[in-house]
Amino acid sequence: MNQYNFQVNLEGILSLLSQHIYSGPQVYLRELLQNGVDAMQARMRLEPGYKGRTTFEVVPAGDGNPPGLIVEDNGIGMTQEEVHQFLATIGSSSKRVLEGEAITDFIGQFGIGMLSAFTVSAEVVVITRKAGSSEPATEWRGRTDGTYTLRTLEGEFSPGTRVYLSAKRDMEDYFEPEKVLNLLRKYGSLLPWEVTFASEGSAKFITGSTVPWLDTPQDVAAVLKSGQLMFSQAFPLAIPLRARSGGVFGVAFVLPYETRPGGQAPHRVYIRRMLVSENAQGLLPEWAFFLQAVVNADDLKPTASRESLYENETLRKCREELGHNIRTWLIETAKREPRQMEALLGIHAVALKGLAVQDEEFFKLFIDLFPFETNMGSMSMGEIRQRFPLIRYTTSTDEFRQVGRILAARNIMLVNAAYIYEHELIARLPVHFSGTDVERLRSQDLGDELEPVPADVTKGAHEFLKRAKEVLSRFRCEPELKQFTPDEVPALYVRDENMQFLRQAEQGRETANAVWASVLDSFTQSYQEAAHASLILNYRNPLVRKLISAPAGPLFTNCIELLYVQALLLGHQPLTSREMGVLNSGLLNLIESSLKD
Amino acid sequence: MEYTQQIQYLKEQADLHKERPEAVPFLEQAINLADAHQDQKESFDLRIELIQAIHFYPKPELIFAYFPWLLARCDEDPEKFDSRTVLWYYKWVLEAMPDYLVLSKEQIMGAMDDFERRAREGNYNPKTIYEFRRILAMKLGDSETARIAQAEFEAAPDPTFLDRMLGIANCDACVLNNSVEYEVFLGNDEKAIRMAGPILKGQKTCHSVPHDTYPSLLLPMKRQKREFEAIGFLEKGYKLIKDRPADFIRQAECMRFTALSGDPREGISMFEKHLPNVFQTLQMMGVMKFYQASAVLFSALAQKGTTSLRLIIPGNAPFFREDNVYSCETLAAWFREQASGLASRFDVRNGNDYYTTHLESLYA
């Protein structure tokens, strides 16, 4: 029996990496940077006091050669055996598990980071010498066809590693100096090592600058300024972020514009000071959609591509802690800086209402600060509760628009709770505040809120209402007699959502084919009993008063039907064909009647 | 304010409440305004938005009030109104129809024939037609018709790139998910799980997938003794559907699973969260499955020694109690009876005994 080794198709692996793991060829720079950082860290463990340095040098194209890149670090380096093992064996990592330190990412764990260099370079040359070893330097040359050579080098080489890349065809852009510099800054500007970029005789430091949100978080102005530079927008406030789970340290900027639930601003996450993602998901709780964060995490795990956060127990706990962090800051700010909180509420009332729905403590502290739309203008809940022990609210903007003005004339306050979270918040008020009661106003209850007519009028109008009911029965509408201002409005049409369904179904049925007419009929039957609509006639209107004493007959029927249609139009209800017919024939009948007279 | 400005305001409000139930009333008001001003074009576009928003509304039957008008506009003026768009949403309506007991089998099949006629007239790839015949047959408990439709589906040519871009073919993720659900329907658990591989690996996704897939595989995974993985599916799947108020069927699947394999306390939270919507809807298929899952949940709690619980139940529930304390056995019995009653009604409507038999198997 013969034993064989698995053959690896390097091109296939590269295709897998580039199509399914990495976001683009540019990540090769991050991988090389990470290798340099790992090498320097490893050397520091052996030599405390050692100063790590990594240099990236772009070599311009010339003499028929494509552009190149030389990456040199003075890290731990490798022996020849280690080169065989870690550079030439796919799936073998040089990231050792040392005491108290675990391999924390998949790429490092499986040793495939270096392969990213082959996405941009047909050949990769590595010259390396192990620190603290007398072994000479080793040169390794690997090619995308899966072959490599290895030789021992004569001469003096300082400990560390040099990597030489040469641009593949169509990959020259990724060696363009400005691009390389920008990418290095993007990935590595926070690293606590000396990283420089050199090109055409000049050198620039990538690292070493103060990062306010990380280095001087107490300087709020500087933190806000750094946020502006980072995210290209000015933020009004910054919330410090700290979490033990994940070792997170950073800041969340309050967005300067209103945002909606479900949205997530792109958070920037560094892991051990290397940029992992500019659009990390899952860092903050869902309700924190009004914030944009930048953090460094020492113990969060990246995904296989090292470009986002791996959803595990640590991230979940981190998210909880950060949520608690933000809530505490909001609560403290409300107590100590009410003006700041007012400014925050002015932009992010929706977001904070969402938090109040979920968090009882937050609800109790903030509910009175939240603004609500009422028929007496915008008011804070604190003001509403103070002035109105019974809070009436509607969840329909349509109803609010129709009756709000009328109720205001009776000094009945009505809250428009049609907006997100609002009726949930209002419904909770009685649970937390004993002197506050709430009542949801449904369309069938609206009549009860309007001023009743005197008892003698009710008695005298009994016949009138009976006749009106007969006329309106074919429209599935009940008449009511009330009085309200403005006087010139003779009638209001109010309906519930079931009637909305019926009206739409009727409208659809007018032009539906046989299949769908039958379907609509089936649904209509189901909704009939539950649907409710009223025509609330206004006793203060002169025409209604005349109608009450008008005799039965075609003219009476005509008038009631026209009042009904007029109320529909006032209420922005579309007319069915039947109602349109009533309008046309009704008007003509009235004109004829007047001409006869 | 001009009506167009009012409509714009309402659309903005609907957009601010995107994927929330609050969006629907704003869109309904906008449609009323457009209709009142006989602005058919605006009304058409708004109805399409509304149909999409109904996904997140607790009364999904609303779709039947607004959809037929769209079809009629396309028939009246095919130049002005895009029939392809309407056919796309016809699929959603068609798939929902068997869930409603108010509709007869004849009405459902009448709509399927109408859809097929329109699809063929539009020269759309016929694979979609067979896919939906299969879906309807499954929901009507008719395995023989489903089998025939499946054979036709397999024999039909795959949609081309243009079919996908310009036609009415479902996306790959939905097609695969629907095929997975067919295998679950047949009881081919192992095959269903295997077929779902690309979905479970995140290679095929859309607005409904893997939302639908995770819950539908919970029981098959349990039957295949892969409960540990299924617990992961429960977590991921429920997170995707918990804020879709009308997704009663998936909610029921998640709730049932908590009783059988997971943490029944999680099931109680689900029960309290979704029950209010269950009492509001006409979608009796969702109601039946929710009731059945509730029966399983409360039976499991009773068996584990929980005799009674304090629960938040809506006041209009037939079994509502002022003291909010409910006996698990009593609740289990009530839900079982209700579910069984609905199953019988579905069977009478469909002309077979599929749901009665199927529900019994879920208690095993």
Asked if A504 and B65 come within 8 Å (Cβ–Cβ), the reply is: yes
pLDDT band at A238 (very low <50, low <70, confident <90, very high): very high
Asked if B102 and A420 come within 8 Å (Cβ–Cβ), the reply is: no
How distant is the Cα of B26 from the closest Cα of chain A, in angstroms?
8
Output the 3-class SS for A474-507.
HHCCEEEEEECCCCCCCEEEEECHHHHHHHHHHH
pLDDT in tens, B91-133: 999 999 999 999 999 999 999 999 999 999 999 999 999 999 9
Give yes or no for residue A209 having a pLDDT over 90. no
Tokens of B174: 């939905």
How far separated are the first and last CA of chain B, in Å rounded?
62
Contact at 8 Å (CB) between B219 and B197?
A: no
Q: Give percent above pLDDT 90 in chain A.
A: 54
**Separation between Cα atoms, residue A299 and residue B28, nearest integer Å:** 49
Average pLDDT over residues A308-321: 88
User: CA nearest B19 in A: which residue?
Assistant: A262
- Average pLDDT score over chain A: 87
Q: CA nearest A309: which of A337, A341, A343, A271?
A: A271
**Separation between Cα atoms, residue B274 and residue B271, nearest integer Å:** 6
What phi, psi does B112 have (nearest 5°)? -65, -45
More confident site: A282 or B81: B81
Average pLDDT over residues A56-81: 92
How distant is the Cα of A525 from the closest Cα of chain B, in angstroms?
9
Asked if B107 and A518 come within 8 Å (Cβ–Cβ), the reply is: yes
User: CA nearest B34 in A: which residue?
Assistant: A574
The pLDDT score that the predictor gives to residue A99 is 38
What phi, psi does A440 have (nearest 5°)? -85, 125
Asked if A569 and B13 come within 8 Å (Cβ–Cβ), the reply is: no
**Separation between Cα atoms, residue A120 and residue A174, nearest integer Å:** 7
B101's enclosing H/E stretch is: none
The pLDDT score that the predictor gives to residue B17 is 87
Asked if A519 and B26 come within 8 Å (Cβ–Cβ), the reply is: no
Asked if B71 and A398 come within 8 Å (Cβ–Cβ), the reply is: no
Output the 3-class SS for A422-442.
HHHHHHHHHHHCCCCEEEECC
Q: Which of B65, B107, B114 sits opposite A505 (nearest CB)?
A: B65
Contact at 8 Å (CB) between B347 and B355?
A: yes
User: CA nearest A525 in B: which residue?
Assistant: B102
- CB neighbourhood size of B86 (10 A): 24
Interface test with B, best of A353, A395, A400, A572 (most B CBs within 10 A): A572
Asked if B18 and A260 come within 8 Å (Cβ–Cβ), the reply is: yes
Average pLDDT over residues A256-277: 87
Tokens of A480: 């009511």
Helix (H, G, I), strand (E, B) or coil at B364: coil
Give yes or no for residue A438 having a pLDDT over 80. yes
pLDDT band at A485 (very low <50, low <70, confident <90, very high): confident
User: CA nearest B20 in A: which residue?
Assistant: A420
Max Cα-Cα span within chain B: 66
How distant is the Cα of B208 from the closest Cα of chain A, in angstroms?
16
Helix (H, G, I), strand (E, B) or coil at A321: helix
Q: Which of A260, A516, A522 sits opposite B102 (nearest CB)?
A: A522
The pLDDT score that the predictor gives to residue B161 is 83
The pLDDT score that the predictor gives to residue A267 is 93
Asked if B66 and A504 come within 8 Å (Cβ–Cβ), the reply is: yes
Q: Is the dihedral of CA A179, A184, A187, A189 positive or negative?
A: negative
The pLDDT score that the predictor gives to residue A406 is 85
The residue written with tokens 């109601």 in the block is B287
Asked if A508 and B69 come within 8 Å (Cβ–Cβ), the reply is: yes
Q: Which of B10, B36, B65 sits opposite A501 (nearest CB)?
A: B65
Q: Which residues pair with A142 in a beta bridge?
A: A124, A148
List, as ranges, residues 83-102 from B with C-beta within 8 Å of A. 97, 102
Max Cα-Cα span within chain A: 123
Asked if B16 and A260 come within 8 Å (Cβ–Cβ), the reply is: yes
The bridge status of strand A248-254 relative to strand A377-380 is unpaired
The pLDDT score that the predictor gives to residue A91 is 54
Q: Give percent above pLDDT 90 in chain B.
A: 80
**Separation between Cα atoms, residue A423 and residue A528, nearest integer Å:** 27
pLDDT in tens, A555-590: 899 999 999 999 999 888 999 999 999 999 988 888
pLDDT band at A305 (very low <50, low <70, confident <90, very high): low
The pLDDT score that the predictor gives to residue A16 is 63
pLDDT in tens, B292-338: 999 999 999 999 889 999 998 988 899 999 999 999 999 999 999 99
Count interface pairs A-B at CB distance under 8 A.
109
Residues on chain A touching B17 (C-beta within 8 angstroms): 260, 419-420
- CB neighbourhood size of A49 (10 A): 5
pLDDT in tens, A322-374: 999 999 999 899 889 888 888 898 899 888 998 898 888 889 988 998 999 99
Average pLDDT over residues A185-214: 90
Q: CA nearest A90: which of A109, A110, A107?
A: A110
Work out the burial of residue A160: count CB atoms within 10 Å of its CB; fewer than 13 is exposed, 13-18 middle, 19 or more buried: buried
How distant is the Cα of B43 from the closest Cα of chain A, in angstroms?
11
Asked if B102 and A525 come within 8 Å (Cβ–Cβ), the reply is: yes
Q: Does A282 touch chain B (CB under 8 A)?
A: no
Residues on chain A touching B110 (C-beta within 8 angstroms): 515, 518
Spatial neighbors of A93 by CB under 8 A, at least 6 apart, are: A86, A103, A108, A109, A110, A111
Q: Which of B17, B61, B110 sits opposite A523 (nearest CB)?
A: B61
Q: Does A285 touch chain B (CB under 8 A)?
A: no
Q: Is the dihedral of CA B30, B33, B37, B38 positive or negative?
A: positive
The pLDDT score that the predictor gives to residue A96 is 47
Give yes or no for residue B339 having a pLDDT over 70. yes
Interface test with A, best of B4, B17, B103, B235 (most A CBs within 10 A): B17
Q: Which of A2-16, A20-34, A301-315 has the lowest mean pLDDT?
A: A2-16
Q: CA nearest A567: which of A477, A501, A497, A505?
A: A477
**Separation between Cα atoms, residue A160 and residue A40, nearest integer Å:** 9
Give yes or no for residue A109 having a pLDDT over 70. no
Residue A319's alpha-carbon distances to A250, A291, A305, A357, B215, in angstroms, are 13, 14, 21, 19, 26
Contact at 8 Å (CB) between A174 and A26?
A: yes
List, as ranges, residues 326-365 from A with C-beta within 8 Å of B. 350
pLDDT band at B211 (very low <50, low <70, confident <90, very high): very high
pLDDT band at B262 (very low <50, low <70, confident <90, very high): low
The pLDDT score that the predictor gives to residue B286 is 97
Give yes or no for residue A18 having a pLDDT over 70. no
Residues on chain B touching A312 (C-beta within 8 angstroms): none
pLDDT in tens, B146-176: 999 999 999 999 988 888 888 999 999 999 9
The pLDDT score that the predictor gives to residue B166 is 85
Spatial neighbors of A362 by CB under 8 A, at least 6 apart, are: A327, A330, A331, A352, A355, A356
pLDDT in tens, A74-104: 999 998 888 877 776 655 555 544 434 444 4
Q: Which of A350, A508, A522 sits opposite B107 (nearest CB)?
A: A522
Residues on chain B touching A513 (C-beta within 8 angstroms): 71-72, 75, 114
Asked if A523 and B102 come within 8 Å (Cβ–Cβ), the reply is: yes
Average pLDDT over residues A5-17: 63
More confident site: A262 or A597: A262
- CA count, 13 A, side-chain hemisphere, A483: 13
**Separation between Cα atoms, residue A250 and residue A217, nearest integer Å:** 8
Contact at 8 Å (CB) between A188 and A209?
A: no
The pLDDT score that the predictor gives to residue A93 is 58
Q: Does A259 touch chain B (CB under 8 A)?
A: no
Residues on chain B touching A575 (C-beta within 8 angstroms): 36
How distant is the Cα of B301 from the closest Cα of chain A, in angstroms?
27
Average pLDDT over residues B327-354: 97
List, as ranges, residues 29-48 from B with C-beta within 8 Å of A. 29, 31-33, 35-36
Give yes or no for residue B216 having a pLDDT over 60. yes
Tokens of A526: 């189901």
User: CA nearest B61 in A: which residue?
Assistant: A523
